[in-house]
Structure 1
Amino acid sequence: MTKTRLAMLAALATVSFAHPVWADSENPNIIVVSGPLFDPFFSALKKGADDAASNLNIHYQYSTVQDANNLQADFARLLDQAAATQPDAMVVGNYFPDAMSPVIKRAAEAGINVIIQDGGYSTWKDTGAFTYVGYDPDSLGVESGQIQVKAGVKNGLCVNHVPGNPSLEALCNAYVKAVKDAGGTGKVLTIAVQDAQNPQANLQAMKGALEADPSIDGIMTLGATQTTLAVQASDETGHEQGKIKIGGSGLSTAVLEGIRDGKVQFGVDLQAYLDGYYSILLAYQKVKYNLAPVQPMYAGPRFVYQKDAEKILLVNEKYVGIRGTN
């Protein structure tokens, strides 16, 4: 990185956050700091934000990381830069609260309207945000575990490909607890965050877990890519289709086809498009009218089963991208 670039970033980081936020702003400045677009979930989220901005006839900025090599530091840096521009509102996926919450708090204290989106459910009130849009990871984990238990799962494996993200850690822990509460066993398989979008690393990690413990009969994943890889891992370790119940949070065309064909027990549609759409809408209404919901807004989860998959696939053929189908 050049000295000029370093100096520019340093200057941005030292700009005061203090500024007036006018409730009647006709052209609000909204910045979204959210997840990487190489993940199908976030491509759908961004499409929702794009459509909301278009419908409202406003402009906004989507800021994200380009790779998974240094997520915590990169997200904190992007957030610091966004806050330094003194926007009217910020929509933030607080995926790593240790690094990101202090910046969010400073922004909120300086009068920037903040929405926490998708990540950061357990800490959104502490940051000074005025609302949260997303899902409750604890409830999702419990329900996913209970669904698999009812299907006969005795030993569940939750695959967390973004360690350090409290929402995903809570989801996995709740899933494992639900299986254990029903008399079974379970554990979390952690994949290094820099390998989050490395299919071969994910596949080998899951195959290794299945080979090390042949009694695993349930898998819960936290991303569409990981769900399809779980099916492959099950096949390549010699398990008959359906012997291992596979569920996953996040949809893609491949996941929906797997559900339709009976290879995946269920998918969890967090309705990322609504995440993005509602966040822009709420930010706009807060800035312009000083209106805000009095409770968190849950865009998901919606559980998708075999009977639902074909209908959703047909919708996705007509409306490409609203579920991150890439």
Structure 2
Amino acid sequence: MSLKRLRLGCDVSMVVRVFAASSIGAVVLAAGLPAAEAAGKPISVDFVSGPLNDSFFPPLYKGAHDAAHDLGVKLNYIPIDESDIEASSAQTMQAAIAQHPDAIVVGDFIPNVVDPYIKQAVAAGIPVYVDQSGQDQWRADGAFGFVGQQGPQVGSAAAGYLAKDGSKNILCVINVPGNLYLQSICRGLSARATALDLKSEALELPTADSTDQAQVSRDIGAYLQSHRDVNGIFTENAAVGTAAVAALDAAGTGDRVHVGTMEISKIALQEIQNGKLTFLVNEQPYLDGYYAVLFAAQYVKYGLAPVGAVSTGPSIVDKTNIDKILTVFNSEPDIIGSR
């Protein structure tokens, strides 16, 4: 896999630094200045996260890019390959550790693979900040913080929204097999559905199908053919959400099945407007990327970090607030979602 790099650097005023440090909340105090600062070099952060052809990650990358620019950080974004996620998760963390940056930010998508490398980096003196996935393991791994959203809360919010719209049996679709974060979302959905006296089911797409939207639509359509009582669907990727809509259109059942999805894309926003999608769950990935670089830089420079996890979602987008989202989406590319 080709590892993509971005090297950025610029000066930043003390006003920006003080505002950024004070606007998040409680902090803890740790060690002093890093070697890079002492030598007059910019702080270096390696950011291991998802590929930019996945609709979730362009806003996350944009946030990381903007934070690096604002703070004068040298950023190296290293994307994993979702089609070979276990091997790629190991390879990208190995590459990050080998460069010995001042800090590593990582999406802990496959904990049994990534956790040992987080511990290895920490043991080597590289502070690690966990981003977007890994909310259950970051403390035990020795990371100094976490930013993102809690998977079970997402599932619970989705089940509650679909229940409000009349869904009685909800299908939760997992688009990356083996991803514990995505699985935890479906578990949260199931728990809330049970509490509301509803039924829920989960469909984990085959790895070979997960990046082929037409095949995903066929997979969902085939499942619905044999599970005709499903009248609510929640997917964990905007492209999968539109694939679910296509499956319902092909079957002629879109009028009786409500669909919600994680992530925001241009097509997903259009489908909210035309009633094909009921709602979107926005983790606000731009904030995932921006805060992760901000917190990493402040920890390296000052020894400061937020206490505990920082939540960026779930934030619900539906017809009640879509106008504001569309205004930003159309004027600020890749901050709200992928085009």
| TM-score (normalizing by structure 1) | 0.90
Output the amino acid matched with 2:327.
L
Distance 1:194 1:93 in 2: 22
Q: Does 1:177 align with 2:191?
A: yes
Partner of 1:130: 144
Give the 5 Å matches for 1:269-284. 269-284=282-297
User: 295, 302, 311: which one pairs with 2:324?
Assistant: 311
Partner of 2:168: 154
Output the amino acid matched with 2:145.
T
Note the alpha carbon deviations across 1:56-84, whole angstroms, 9 max, x for none: 1222100013x433111111111011112
Partner of 1:141: 155
Contact 1:257/1:309 (CA < 8 Å) preserved in 2? no
Contact 2:283/2:313 (CA < 8 Å) preserved in 1? yes
User: 246, 256, 278: which one pairs with 1:265?
Assistant: 278
Partner of 2:303: 290
Output the amino acid matched with 1:52.
A
Point out where structure 1 has 5 or more consecutive residues left out of the alignment: 2-19
Q: Does 1:87 align with 2:101?
A: yes
Contact 2:68/2:74 (CA < 8 Å) preserved in 1? yes
Partner of 2:177: 163
Q: Does 1:323 align with 2:336?
A: yes
Aligned-pair identity in percent equals 35
Distance 2:127 2:234 in 1: 35
Partner of 2:315: 302
Q: Does 1:28 align with 2:67?
A: no
Distance 2:163 2:126 in 1: 45
Contact 2:147/2:291 (CA < 8 Å) preserved in 1? yes
Output the amino acid matched with 2:49.
S
Change (3 A) 1:177 1:113: same
Question: What is the deviation of 1:143?
Answer: 1.6
Q: Does 1:212 align with 2:236?
A: no
Distance 1:306 1:253 in 2: 15
Partner of 1:15: none
Partner of 1:48: 63
Question: What is the deviation of 1:179?
Answer: 1.6
Distance 1:134 1:232 in 2: 30
Output the amino acid matched with 1:169.
Q
Contact 2:157/2:314 (CA < 8 Å) preserved in 1? no
Distance 2:254 2:113 in 1: 43
Contact 1:68/1:195 (CA < 8 Å) preserved in 2? no
Distance 1:156 1:42 in 2: 26
Give the 5 Å matches for 1:230-241. 230-241=244-255
Distance 2:338 2:45 in 1: 26
Question: What is the deviation of 1:311?
Answer: 2.5
Contact 1:155/1:185 (CA < 8 Å) preserved in 2? yes
Q: RMSD of the alignment, in Å? A: 1.6
Q: Secondary structure at the match of 1:195?
A: coil
Question: What is the deviation of 1:310?
Answer: 2.7
User: 97, 102, 124: which one pairs with 1:110?
Assistant: 124
Distance 1:50 1:245 in 2: 36
Output the amino acid matched with 1:102.
P
Q: How many residues align?
A: 306
Question: What is the deviation of 1:23?
Answer: 8.6
Question: What is the deviation of 1:24?
Answer: 4.5
Contact 2:128/2:144 (CA < 8 Å) preserved in 1? yes
Partner of 1:202: 216
Q: Secondary structure at the match of 1:219?
A: strand
Distance 2:243 2:189 in 1: 19
Q: Secondary structure at the match of 2:109?
A: coil
Contact 1:157/1:176 (CA < 8 Å) preserved in 2? no
Q: Secondary structure at the match of 1:307?
A: coil
Partner of 1:120: 134
Name which of structure 1's ranges 305-314 and 134-143 shifts more when overlaid on structure 2.
305-314
Question: What is the deviation of 1:316?
Answer: 1.0
Point out where structure 2 has 5 or more consecutive residues left out of the alignment: 2-32
Q: Secondary structure at the match of 1:193?
A: coil
User: 250, 264, 268: which one pairs with 2:263?
Assistant: 250
Output the amino acid matched with 2:220.
M
